[in-house]
Structure 1
Amino acid sequence: MSSQEYSANYNDFAGSSPINALEFFVKSLISKTVYTAFPVTVTAVERTGTGSGAGYVTVKPLLMPRNVEAQGIAVTTIPKLPYFRLQHGTAAVVCDPKVGDMGLAVVAKHDISNVNGDNTPKVPATFREFDRSDSFYIGGFWGPAPSTFIHIEDSGEITVEAPASVVIKTDSCTINGKTIQLNGSTSISLNSPQINLNGAISGGGSGGANATFSGDVKAKGVSLTTHVHTGVQAGNTTSGQPQQ
């Protein structure tokens, strides 16, 4: 069949054309055997936390195949898909998936069952290609409004929202800023064998502030609790300076 004959026969109503029938058959065959990517929801998770690398999820497709009457056909779950974690080397942002999350299953070209985290090339275990079971899960689509998050804007603002707690573990921590403010609605505690304050210290508010210390306080070696005064005498005069 010439290209002109093909063009003349190819339209939405030319289903009886041999070339159109062949095209329909090929497309139908491909659509039933080749997968690229499809939306899914997580039904089970092997969450590893910070104890090891990223784990696996079991997912269920969010799109149902249709029968000839355009009715949905029930879908089945797909087990053990490796999930994505933002990581390089041993540095990572750990935010593993949870049941109910929605994401995308990205299908590999070959069987990935021999790929287990070792970064050396592997021979595919079978000859299957573009199979749903050989997928990788990428999450973070849709979902409810977050209550615990890190919000970054290119305006230079970063907000960390953690209703329960924030824990930072490090050997050294430095915060540089023009103004730094700590607000504790109940209390603020500093725990260290030695605390160094460099700079003027003043009480806040119009009436100043009260300070309570359970131990002794020294200024230039003079004890607040045990120091004595020089030049003491009876009468209305004041004493001299504290004696070291």
Structure 2
Amino acid sequence: MSQERTNAPGQRRPASDANQFSAISFVIKQYLAGVRTAMPVIVRGVRNDGGVEPVGTVDVEPLVSQLDGAGQIVGHGIIYDLPYLRMQGGTNAIILDPEIGDIGLAVVSDRDVSKVKTTRQPAAPGSNRRNHFSDGFYFGGFLNGNPAQYIRFSSEGIDLVSPTAINMTAPQINETATESITAKAPNINQVAEGSVSISAPEIGLDGALSQGKGENGGDASFGGAVTAEGEVTGKGVKVSDHGHDKVEPGEGQSGGPVNL
């Protein structure tokens, strides 16, 4: 029994019809060449780039080109309007939408999903087509470069890093750690309608601290002793160097404060 040899899928050779097996094998290969399952793609267009909106779609270009009967490379066109994956359960989601230039995987459904995409409900196939590019879904995150903004999970803990800002908004923000919490960004903003609570064995602030200047400004209270290496000033009066008025003996002022 002769064996068919090809340089490209579906390329016909003299051995293709040498016998019944070879002829049937050629027909099957021709059919399978048109069946799409999964392929690496690059994103060429995005609808909804990080907005708090329903999941959008992407336009992608397959990275593995086609071959014609002579073995010449033939590039694919753009595949439009493929829904992409977003990690979401109910109204809870991580919004991490694709960007142009991302590399991912397009997975092709075995039936026409156009009606499902439109209604987001169970529906009959939109047509008789099967394993077609148009019925694909995009999964991102393959073969991409180093991230600049990320959440990293490691044996040393969880790192939240941003080159611009970290914003947290909620009715109440609670941060609890048995050892440490690390967040790195030029600006970290926490906005709560109720309260912000930070609980840890030790909390270190490395930078200037400002309190009580906004509309939510108020008093500060500490449950333990307060120690300052620098000056402490209250209503314009320094704690480490000040006098007392209405003192009758001497020159009318007391000496500096002393430890009791």
One-letter amino acid of the counterpart of residue 31, structure 2 = L
Where does residue 4 of structure 1 map in the other structure?
none
Aligned to 2:248: 233
Cα deviation for residue 124 of structure 1 reads 1.5
CA-CA distance at 1:196 after TM superposition: 3.5
Q: Secondary structure at the match of 1:19?
A: helix
Q: Which residue of 1 aligns with 2:210?
A: 189
Task: Indicate the residue corresponding to 2:231 in structure 1.
Answer: 210
**What is the CA deviation profile of residues 87-134 of structure 1, one whole-angstrom value per residue up to 9, with x for unaligned ones?**
111111111111101100010111111123755311111111110110
Structure 1 residues 67-78: aligned runs within 5 Å: 67-78=68-79
Residues in 1 aligned to 2:3 and 2:233: alpha-carbon distance in whole angstroms: 89
- Aligned equivalents of 1:73 and 1:22: distance in 2? 26
**Distance in 2 between the 1:10 and 1:200 partners?**
92
Local SS of the residue matching 2:28: helix
What is the match of residue 161 of structure 2? 161
Residue 75 (structure 1) shift: 1.0
Does the 8 Å CA contact 2:111/2:131 hold for their aligned counterparts? Answer: yes
Structure 1 residue 140, shift from structure 2 partner? 0.9
2: CA distance, partners of 1:113 / 1:216: 71
Question: For the residues of structure 1 that align with 2:232 and 2:141, how far apart are their CA atoms?
Answer: 48
1:180 aligned partner: 203
> Counterparts of 2:46 and 2:224 in 1: how far apart (Å)?
52
> Compared with structure 1, are the counterparts of its residues 128 and 30 closer, same or farther at alpha carbon in structure 2 (3 Å cutoff)?
same
Q: Which moved more, 1:160-169 or 1:15-24?
A: 15-24
Q: Which runs of 5+ in 2 are unaligned?
A: 6-14, 177-199
1:139 lines up with 2:144 in the alignment? no
Q: TM-score, normalised by structure 2?
A: 0.72
Aligned length: 216
Identity score, percent = 30
Which segment drifts farther, 122-131 or 57-66?
122-131
8 A contact 1:36–1:108 mirrored in 2: yes
Match of residue 223, structure 2, among 189, 198, 207:
198
Moved over 4 A (4+): 10-15, 236-239
Shift of 1:179: 2.3
Q: TM-score, normalised by structure 1?
A: 0.77
Aligned-pair Cα RMSD in Å: 3.0
Deviation, structure 1 residue 67: 1.5
1:24 matched to which residue of 2? 26
Matches within 5 A, 1:33-72: 34-47=35-48, 49-72=50-73
- Give the unaligned 5+ runs of structure 1: 1-8, 218-224
Letter in 1 for 2:22: N
Per the alignment, residue 221 of structure 1 pairs with none
> Are the aligned partners of 2:49 and 2:99 in contact in 1 as well (CA < 8 Å)?
no
Deviation at 1:160, TM superposition (A): 1.1
Distance 2:159 2:249 in 1: 62
Q: Which amino acid aligns with 1:56?
A: T
Partner residue of 1:3? Answer: none
Aligned to 1:106: 107
Number of the residue aligned with 1:171: 171
Distance 2:27 2:233 in 1: 85
Contact 1:48 1:54 (C-alpha < 8 Å) held by counterparts: no
Cα distance change on mapping 1:212 and 1:175 into 2, 3 Å? farther
1:11 deviation in Å? 5.1
TM-aligned CA deviation for residue 229 of structure 1? 6.9
CA distance in 1, matches of 2:57, 2:49: 9
Is the contact between residue 4 and residue 22 of structure 2 (CA under 8 Å) also seen in structure 1?
no
Amino acid at match of 1:85: R
Q: Distance in 2 between matches of 1:21 and 1:190?
A: 83
Q: C-alpha displacement at 1:82, in angstroms? A: 0.4
